[in-house]
Amino acid sequence: MFRLENKVALVTGAGSGIGEAIARTFAAQGAQVIVADVRGDAAESVSAAIREDVGNAHAQTLDVGDEGQVTSTLQALAARFGRLDILVNNAGVSHVGTVLETSAADWERLMRVNTLGVFLCAREAVRQMLAQQPMGGNIINIASVAGMVGLESRFPYSASKGAVISMTRSIAIDFVAKGIRCNAICPGTIHTPFVEGYLARSYAGREDEVRQQLHARQPLGRMGLPEEIATAAVYLASDEAAFVTGSLLVIDGGLTAR
């Protein structure tokens, strides 16, 4: 079950953390994975490790907020591999702050990557998936519980992820008759280099204290692991999830159950 043989999958933000775990798990399940990241060296490193350990992977430098680059890259990938079966919109950035602690530059930075990036990649993926009928395709957006409930000092991040949730539902309904599924995963706090970087930037000297607070925020008492998000992505990408579209898969250690 949940095998992905003969599938071509593009994973954005796959140079570390959740994206890396998804790319690795997809390859282990038989997919041909394109490891995309704005940091080309990180994409190369992850794809090389995947080829050595578990399966097929190809590195791709990609800035998801650059319209021209997204269009040309996805067209080139589709020509190279013949199709695109799965897109995982994982690339994202964060910001800590309330509405009063968010500048216009902060807002634009988050929206460029977290919202515009999802839009651009999804648009080009849908175009390709329509062109390869009757195969259709599958889009998985990495949203967040921050787009569902109020979290302290996450104003622009929450707004950006709320937009991802809305885009997921719209794409699902608009293209359900064309064989394209679109779902979102809404993680709670996942322990990744992304989180460690956020701790270093925002809580210098208090990293251990705040890290423990992040663990305790989940009723299960810990942050999640990237691999726990990756296994959910495999399910959504697989044929076993053929009846699932427009859904939010919440993986948050019980945070939103309160």
Q: Which residues are designated catalytic?
A: 157
Distance CA(114)–CA(234), nearest Å, equals 22
Distance CA(2)–CA(240), nearest Å, equals 6
Report which secondary-structure segment, H or E, holds 181.
strand 180-187
Cα–Cα–Cα angle for 189, 104, 140, rounded to 5 degrees: 40
Distance CA(224)–CA(227), nearest Å, equals 8
- Asked whether 35 and 46 are in contact (CB, 8 A), the reply is yes
Other CB atoms within a 10 A radius of the CB of residue 130 amount to 14
Task: Give the DSSP letter of residue 223.
Answer: -
As given in the structure block, the two tokens for residue 244 are: 């699932």
Distance CA(89)–CA(102), nearest Å, equals 24
Cα–Cα–Cα angle for 163, 164, 166, rounded to 5 degrees: 65
In one-letter notation, the amino acid at residue 135 is: M
